[in-house]
Amino acid sequence: MKSKATLAALLENFFTQRLMNQRQASPHTISSYRDTFRLLLQFAQQRLHRPPARLAFEEIDAPMITAFLDDLEKNRGITARSRNLRLTAIRSFFHYAAYEEPSRAAQIQRVLAIPGKRHTRSLVHFLSRPEIDALLEAPDQGTWFGRRDHGLLLVAVQTGLRLSELTGLQRGDVVLGTGAHVRCIGKGRKERCTPLARSTVAVLKAWLREPPRRNTEVLFPNARGGRLSPDGVHYLFVKHCAAASKVCASLKHKRVTVHVLRHTMALDLLQQGVDRSVIALWLGHESVETTQIYYAQTPDMCSKAI
């Protein structure tokens, strides 16, 4: 029996009803899932020589999806981890389709049975104290952009916020009185407050005294007053890392990102003796076990234990 619902209708309902209305997924999740299906539809169009609007649900089967994932690895050079993220989005859609199209249960089951690809879990990367100091000194604080970048880097390395959390900060999210902290809504739509050090408070006080760019409420806006894009953050990291490497040569061989600064902050807390449950709350981890990866980065602590 052929499916009555078209692929286009199922996809539309999946995004509007399941993700947005029922699950209230974050914009980041919706954007990631959208990109996955955009790539999948492009691949199916090239393979079947039909536009996405004319594709049938039964044509997106397990062999098609497996070929799509293999193509991503071969031609786009994505990692096994990224491949598994794409597969997660596809599985979510087929879990939804299982209730909408029970007549296609066998096809759906074969898709859901596609295994994730195993991959080597590498050690996390982090910066040393001299490298952090060199990076924080790199922006030219005589300019508006330099002061913005200095504040962003300082908040990143002191709070351990994720990229989306950092770029999404509003001026009203910063509390600089007694018990200074910054509020954010992180992964899993969990709201948390992260305390701020005195040095960070002083920098943010000076930054907030400056007139907001085009009356924006974004804490670290771009030149037009909007939210910094991931590419914009990547550009400023590359720029300042290159400048800092002239002072600290070891930075030449390191790829510095917001997540590297997040790892750096977590390791710093761990080496100071902070309990891992506190670190997990600070970072917004789903489980305390996630923080376990940082113990492999502290050979001194392991040596003491032995």
Catalytic-role residue among 104, 150, 240, 294: 294
Output the six-digit token pair for 289: 């076990």
- 187 catalytic? Reply is yes
State the Cα torsion 225-230-236-237 to the nearest 10°.
Answer: 150
Catalytic-role residue among 187, 192, 213, 234: 187
- 254 catalytic? Reply is no
Round to whole Å and give the CA distance between 241 and 199: 21
Output the six-digit token pair for 284: 């917004």
- 252 catalytic? Reply is no
How many CA atoms are closer than 13 Å to the CA of 235, on its beta-carbon side? 7
- 81 catalytic? Reply is no
Beta bridge partners of 174: 182
Catalytic-role residue among 162, 240, 263, 276: 162
- 285 catalytic? Reply is yes
Round to whole Å and give the CA distance between 100 and 5: 9
- 76 catalytic? Reply is no
Cβ neighbours for 122, distance < 8 A, ≥ 6 positions apart: none
Nearest to 131 by CA among 239, 242, 249: 249
Catalytic-role residue among 83, 104, 240, 262: 262
Output the six-digit token pair for 122: 């590498």
Catalytic-role residue among 183, 227, 259, 295: 259
Q: Catalogue the active-site residues.
A: 162, 187, 259, 262, 285, 294
